[in-house]
A and B are shown apart, each in its own frame.
Chain A
């Protein structure tokens, strides 16, 4: 199939439709409005249903309902709206339902701003709502990768009966790149949705979608079973890109659009004779811990530096993974400010000057 030039938001919406998503419930917020707009136009054409809910809270609960009925369903929002969805996400994770949620992150806290940010990392990767749970968090760096990850995201959600979050930012949503909608390279054996509440006709046991367990022992068992599932996810689903890490003096950790800026920095540094590597987590949860462990043991790697559009969130997972083997530094801009290549490079030089002394 030939390539088309598309905005990130629109490409994500089309990818969802091609992945079989037929239900979308959302509420407008910049910088992700092209997703619901595209869904509103496209879903009726493919026999699906789009509803602009009266709030983010009702949108996520509509997702809860559709997911419970076994449908492929998606919602999208940006930071403040995603905060409003957290209660529903916790319920969906508790009830073990598959769905895809897109967060095109903007600067925070509060209403914040509308420019790109990565300051929802904690919220996305550490649960976000109440209780013991995780979302699978996928962080695309290009629009093509966003398309591929949305498609695979629906499969991951169905395979593990767990909500999947696509964590982008305003830049990825607003920019345009050529994309190709192609079938997934890996075919998964997806379990039948025998648990779905599709209407009781007597030919199977009654299905109940529930996240309430009054008996603490039952709840502990339920959560422990979910955590066994998480171990499977950690084993099977980690995705990471290592770029220019061989012979690198310093390895930068960056994800999403920031990783693209870092790639530009790496090329620039190369011309100045400085060898910089990049570890780009594609799954933020599960985090590619072992990749960091491996590179931290290499002699030539003197230090790590996490570069983020936040005040320092992923850096905590980098530190946990590097586990004291090498120093871990941080550079970030926040509030919608995007780190500039020259500023990143001068931070890198500072670190190299410090550790080689």
Chain B
């Protein structure tokens, strides 16, 4: 099994971190992984995206051209990456910030109100973790426990108190996809 993932959104939404957590968790599970960021003159508020591959096989090209799943956190990302989902693949749309519906009917689309859920949790910055929770629940690409372990490493001991919040965000994201329907 090979998960070929594209994550895209605004700089500052935690796009790169989402990808790194996925890659890290995949590595902890003993999979072959790669993480490739876009690295143009990116800045907060600009666009950011990354490609993640989690595979049982060694990773050949780290570039994802036909994605098994795409997560889009803002409107320009939907326009740009909807076409990159492979036929039968998964598209996760942050419906809090994207008022448009996806136009393809040969893929599965889930609308996740990531920012609204994050706000309910009291911190809009965990919207990325909500989205990640949805993705993991939907695909089983990695286990949530390994994502939390990865986050622990990424945040360091000084930010240990954020772990519970992030765990909650993953969980709420996972609950969202229960209602997701195949189009």
Contact = CB atoms under 8 A, between A and B. Distances in A.
A140 to B, nearest CB: 13
Contacts of A174: 36-37, 39
Contacts of B40: 114-115
Most B Cβ at <10 Å: residue of A31, A177, A267, A340: A177
A267 B32 CA distance: 17
Contacts of A114: 39-41
A263 B61 contact: yes
Contacts of A342: 65
Given A171-B36, A174-B39, A175-B36, A5 B61 contact: no
B65 A260 contact: no
Most A Cβ at <10 Å: residue of B27, B39, B60: B60
Interface residues of B, number: 19
B135 interface: no
A3 B27 contact: yes
Given A171-B62, A176-B23, A5 B39 contact: no
A271 to B, nearest CB: 13
A260 B62 contact: yes
Contacts, number: 57
Most A Cβ at <10 Å: residue of B27, B61, B63: B61
B47 to A, nearest CB: 15
A261 B65 CA distance: 11
A264 B35 contact: no
Interface in B1-59: 20, 23-24, 27, 32-37, 39-41, 59
Most B Cβ at <10 Å: residue of A176, A257, A264, A267: A176
Contacts of B34: 175-177
A261 B39 contact: no
B65 A5 contact: no
Nearest to A176: B35
A178 B27 contact: yes
Contacts of A170: 39
B20 A261 contact: no
A158 B123 CA distance: 55
A39 B40 CA distance: 23
A20 interface: no
Contacts of A31: 39
Contact of A341 (B20, B32, B61): B61
Nearest to B16: A176
23 contacts: A5-B23, A5-B24, A5-B33, A5-B35, A171-B63, A175-B35, A175-B36, A175-B37, A175-B62, A176-B23, A176-B35, A177-B33, A177-B34, A178-B32, A178-B33, A260-B59, A260-B61, A260-B62, A261-B63, A264-B60, A267-B60, A341-B61, A341-B65
Given A176-B34, A260-B59, 10 more contacts: A5-B33, A115-B39, A174-B37, A175-B34, A176-B23, A176-B35, A177-B33, A177-B59, A260-B60, A341-B61
Interface of B: 20, 23-24, 27, 32-37, 39-41, 59-63, 65
The 10 closest A-B pairs by CB, nearest first: A263-B60, A264-B61, A176-B35, A264-B60, A261-B61, A175-B36, A178-B27, A174-B39, A260-B61, A5-B24
